Structure 1
Amino acid sequence: MADTLLSLIPVVDETRRGQIVRKLRQLIVGGHVKPGERLTESELAAKLGVSRAPLREAVRELVEFGLLESIPYKGLFVRRVTRTDLDELYSLRTMLEKFAFQQCWDKRNPDNLADLHNRHEALIAESERGQDRERAIILELDLHSWCYEVSGHKLLQKSWEQMKPNLQFYFTLHQKAHNRPGPFREAHQEYVKQASGDNLDAMLSHLEDHMRQGLEVTMKDIPLE
């Protein structure tokens, strides 16, 4: 029975759909298409060199992620940016990241703390190089991924992975609006210092301030609804 079930799983189609999802996600979160821009299946299929069936599956997945909007009788659009969405994203992110630090605090060791500092240095180097905005954003998210990874909490890690495309989307809009290749050098210095320290309460307090400042800065670029 197991062999029969395995023979029924469309492995190739799933892999193809996954590739299309990644390409579309890179197109959106990389800022190559504008918020509110209308997309058509025929154009996407032609540019990606794929058939309509796996493309539709990929589009449905990105609609569920919230990166695309499918509006009846109007078409498919890149997600628009609203203050409400941004506020919800940052409030949830703050709660999850505080929980991640609570879970990972006693699991820190010299090796994973060295990894944290290496991620921070990589982010600084890329930002100061100023040649690849998308790479800098990925490295910033990689820095914040650290506490989730060290936590060992699988469901928490899954929630973070689901949130990351939306964060990357907003980070991209913010960096483009300010014509910056990445965060300033000092943006995460206190974050890394507290994450390496011995006071969990101080880390959680700083985290709230860090997230609130990020929200306030990003909100300045979002028009009132």
Structure 2
Amino acid sequence: MAKKPVIGIDLDGTVLDCRPRQQAVTLKLLPEAEPYADALWTLKREGYATRIALEKLDIAVPESFDHHWINLIEHPRYLALDHLLPSVETALNTLSKFAELHLITARQDSEGVHSTLSRLKISDFFANVKVVPAGSGAVIEKAGYLSVAGAVAHCGDTEVDGRSAANAGVRFWAVTSGQRSESFLLTHTTPDRIAHSLQGIANKYSEMN
């Protein structure tokens, strides 16, 4: 029996709805930002970092904000807010019939990733889980793993995923369900496929197999 092709799958914004966690941390640090929550998310989906997006909304951001954000964003209290995006379980089930799925995510702590996968009962969909350090080196780390794993494609929701796929020389399948809008992804990456959700990607892939 022929070995299934390997497909990389990003976590936050591709499998998980990461807005509730990011919003909760922001409002914990800056409660006055609550009336601007929707506008803030819109700016973030257009590529603005949280601090810059807040400043564009004329919200004063203390110097300590980034430090506290990093300390809180993967705290178990906030990780508990993560939930699956619509139809993700169905999409993973469909993709896993035709491919070997490898979860590749940039986080500070791998324990939180495995805990979330277990809580949401999706661990078994993945042949391997690779957690790379969050930050400026994430593209190189993700690309390196895609190359070593022999992946044929990588599916994600940000320019980091697009650049990782490009650096590894594999196809980039973009989803617009997460931290970047369709217009941003089309401007800043070169996706081979783009869909509103992982289910859309799964449908397109299953039609070809």
TM-score interval for Structure 1 and Structure 2 normalised by the shorter chain = under 0.3
**TM-score relative to the length of structure 1:** 0.24
* RCO higher in structure (CA 8 A, sep ≥6): 2
Which protein has the bigger strand share? 2
TM-score, with structure 2 as normaliser? 0.25
Whichever of the two has the greater Rg, that structure is 1
